[in-house]
Amino acid sequence: MGLKEILEHHIVDHIWSWLYFGPLKLPVSKHLLMMGLASLILLVALPLLIRSRSAALAPFRAMLEMVVLFLRDEVVVPNLGRKGAAYLGYFSTLFFFILTMNLLGMVPFGATATGNLAVTAGLAATTFLLINFAGIKEQGLFSYLAHIVPKGVPAWLYPLLFPMELIGLVIKAFALCIRLFANMIAGHIVILSFIGFIFIFGSINAALGLGVAPVSVLLVLFILLLELFVAFLQAYIFTFLTAIFTGAAMHPH
């Protein structure tokens, strides 16, 4: 089994079967399972945690509360303004959904659903819809379209800038999609490469392979910790950038 197969096995989605809804052909795959698992965890754990009065769970409740309040006070409200607090549910869900999927990728037998371009594309698509929905709701359709081009631009540049800004809107969402995907998958690839080193050197000389092994394992450990950090960081960045883009669409100054 070459490195290619190993990589594909660990990183690429496994489609087990297909579901057909009229013209739609929906896959049933490992990443979908992980996504469902993440949703289930959130749907069960969060309400229970919030409603529970047990003292043992109090620290977790406090952590959850701190995260949500941080999102509200540092991410949503500064970018979207006072009215933006209504969108807090979206941002909190986005953060915890991405975070849970990221973390599930680090559990044995788990897979990183956010390391799949289709999944991040789905998240980016909802963000794209949210940006436009919030912008249109706040300013009205006509005003929103008129403000897509920044203020102070000479009139003759409008025909050039308007399509560019429209494309820019799509690119923002596209960048979100690629950023999350690349970040989540990169760690896995690096880890697999480090483990691959052991076998590459081992095929040259067994002793060499054994010598490389401790170094590789240490490096893998380091990357794993880094991935743990990145799991939180990318969830935060995705949420934060979504807030910035939504805020920019709501208040075009």
- Number of residues located near another protein, criterion CB under 8 A: 47
Cα dihedral sign for 3, 8, 116, 63?
negative
- Of residues 99, 119, 149, 223, which one binds another protein by CB under 8 A? 119
Angle CA 177–129–235, to nearest 5: 40
Contacts of 127 (CB under 8 A, 6+ apart): 94, 173, 176, 238, 242, 245, 246
Length of the chain: 253
Does 64 participate in binding another protein (rule CB under 8 A)? Answer: yes
Residue among 79, 124, 88, 94 nearest 244 (CA): 79
Q: How far is the CB of 231 from another protein (least distance, A)?
A: 18
Q: How far is the CB of 33 from another protein (least distance, A)?
A: 11
- Of residues 9, 16, 50, 158, which one binds another protein by CB under 8 A? 50
CB 76 within 8 A of CB 243: yes
Distances (CA, A) of 137 to 140, 141, 242: 6, 8, 16
- Of residues 6, 57, 106, 117, which one binds another protein by CB under 8 A? 117
- Of residues 75, 76, 77, 94, which one binds another protein by CB under 8 A? 94
Binding mask 193-232 for another protein (x = CB under 8 A): ----------------------------------------
Residues in contact with another protein by CB under 8 A are: 4, 7-8, 11-13, 15, 18, 24-27, 29, 31-32, 35-36, 39, 42-43, 46-47, 50-51, 64-65, 68-69, 72, 88-90, 92-94, 96-97, 116-119, 121-123, 125-126, 185
